[in-house]
Amino acid sequence: MIRKQLLIITLSALLAVAGPVAAIAAQVELLNVSYDPTRELYQDFNAAFAKHWKKKAGEDVVIKQSHGGAGKQARAVIDGLEADVVTLALAYDIDEIHSKAGLIPENWQKRLPHNSSPYTSTIVFLVRKGNPKKIKDWNDLVKPDIKVITPNPKTSGGARWNYLAAWAYALKQKGGNEAKAKEFVTKLFKNVPVLDSGARGSTTTFVQRGLGDVLLAWENEAFLAVNELGKDKFEIVVPSLSILAEPPVTVIDKVVDKHRTRKVAEEYLKYLYTPEGQEIAAKNYYRPIDKKVAAKYAKTFTKVKLITIDDVFGGWQKAQKKHFADGGTFDQIYTPSK
């Protein structure tokens, strides 16, 4: 008796979910798997693109979003999360989708302009109002009484940019070399009291929990924190040198072919490059690559000397192997010194 009832309950519950799913299937669906700080950007962009696609193709498009640390997100795609497009923090994680799962061709980054990065960003400092610890540049971060908040470079794309920017700064100082850079970064990470797994976690730690004197953050993330949580609480400090962060995007070929969504997925990414898309990116504090839009928002973004990963580190594959792989320099920082 009871078993039968339970069976009926279970079956009707199953039907209850299956129902709406079938109804939705009449329209196009895209899944965009992205990293932590792009939540606001894609909220705006998805709404704009849905309108654009309706006008262009007369079809309703629903864009689902998934956010998390870049490593976690790429791992999920490799394990079978059927993302039509990925918009991650750095090229290495997308490379892994090629090498570990073969879901995209090796030359994926050549398929869209500008290394497949429709917007760029950089790493800045977020400090408490009035900058009580007088933090101006990277070398202030290694002073003994400074607490620095950054996520874990092993799991967060943003944190890898942070780490490499610090490394590049030390390298570019007078008499800078690899050994000195390593020493500098080691000292810096001695000042880090918490390593969250993603950029958002770190911002929460700094902003809400009031931990640390300075947060190393994506430029857009820093702007967002200032705007959302009060200009009277935080200030942005732009260091003398930082790194040009290029968060790349790509369609996942195997998935879009299976879902038959290649056309809309490709259009989605191309729309990022249009003036409308660029405008949305700029409004969300990503540096636009379109010259006109960039000129319009020139006031927002402080001019800063930016080095690139290709120039200083010879590309992501090399940087990843040397710094973030098991036993790499980041692990060595945490090996107990005797």
Partner 1 sequence: MHVTGALKIKKGQKGGGGLAEPALVRWLLIAVALAFLGLFLVVPLAAVFTQALDKGVDAYFAALREPDALSAIKLTLLTAAISVPLNLIFGVVAAWAISKFDFPGKSFLITLIDLPFSVSPVISGLIYVLLFGLQGWAGPWLSAHDIKILFAVPGIVLATIFVTFPFVARELIPLMEAQGKDEEEAAMVLGASGLQTFFRVTFPNIRWGVLYGVILCNARAMGEFGAVSVVSGHVRGYTNTIPLHVEILYNEYNYAAAFAVASLLALLALVTLVVKTVAEWKIQEETM
Partner 2 sequence: MNLSLKKHSVLPGFGPTLGYTVFYLSLIVLIPLSALIFKTAGLTWGEFVATVTAPRVVASYRVTFGAALLAAAVNAVFGVLVAWVLVRYRFPGKRLFDALVDLPFALPTAVAGITLATVYSGGGWIGRYLEPHGIKVAYTPLGILVAMVFIGLPFVVRTVQPVLEELDAEIEEAAACLGANRWQTFSRVLFPTLLPSLLTGFALAFARAVGEYGSIIFIAGNMPMVSEITPLLIITKLEQYDFAGATAIASVMLLASFIVLLTVNLLQKWSRRFAE
Report the partner that residue 306 touches, choosing among partner 1, partner 2, none (CB closer than 5 to 8 A by kind).
Answer: none
- Minimum separation from the CB atom of position 195 to partner 2 (A): 5
78 binds partner 2, rule: CB under 8 A: yes
Crossing angle between the packed helical segments 262-273 and 39-57, to the nearest 10 degrees: 120
Give the Cα separation of 65 and 46 in Å (integer).
Answer: 9
Q: Is residue 196 near partner 2 by the rule CB under 8 A?
A: yes
Instruction: Give φ, ψ of 30 to 5 degrees.
Output: -125, 145
Whole-number Å distance between alpha carbons of 265 and 111? 13
With binding defined as CB under 8 A, does residue 34 bind partner 2? no
Please pick, from the candidates 100, 110, 134, 321, the single residue that binds partner 2 as defined by CB under 8 A. 100
Contact 146, 188 (CB under 8 A): no
Q: Tokens representing 281? A: 């990116």
Which range binds partner 2 by CB under 8 A, 43-51, 67-75, 112-120, 276-284?
Answer: 67-75
* Contact status, residue 199 vs residue 218, Cβ threshold 8 Å: yes
Comparison of 208 and 332: residue with beta carbon closer to partner 1? 208
Contact 127, 210 (CB under 8 A): no
Nearer to partner 2, 176 or 328 (CB): 328
The torsion angles phi and psi of 143, rounded to 5 degrees, stand at -65, 145
DSSP character at residue 106: T
Binds 16: which of partner 2, partner 1, none (CB < 5-8 Å by kind): partner 1
**Binder among 110, 129, 180, 209 for partner 2 (CB under 8 A):** 209
Beta carbon nearer to partner 2, 30 or 88: 88
Asked if 306 interacts with partner 2 (CB under 8 A), we say no
Other residues' Cβ atoms within 10 Å of the Cβ of residue 260: 9
**Binding of partner 2 by 129 (CB under 8 A):** no
Coil, helix or strand at residue 167: helix
Identify what 80 binds: partner 2, partner 1, none; CB under 5 to 8 Å per kind. Answer: partner 1
User: What residues line the site for partner 2 (CB under 8 A)?
Assistant: 69, 71-72, 74-75, 78, 96, 100, 152, 154-155, 192-197, 205, 209-211, 324, 326, 331, 334-336
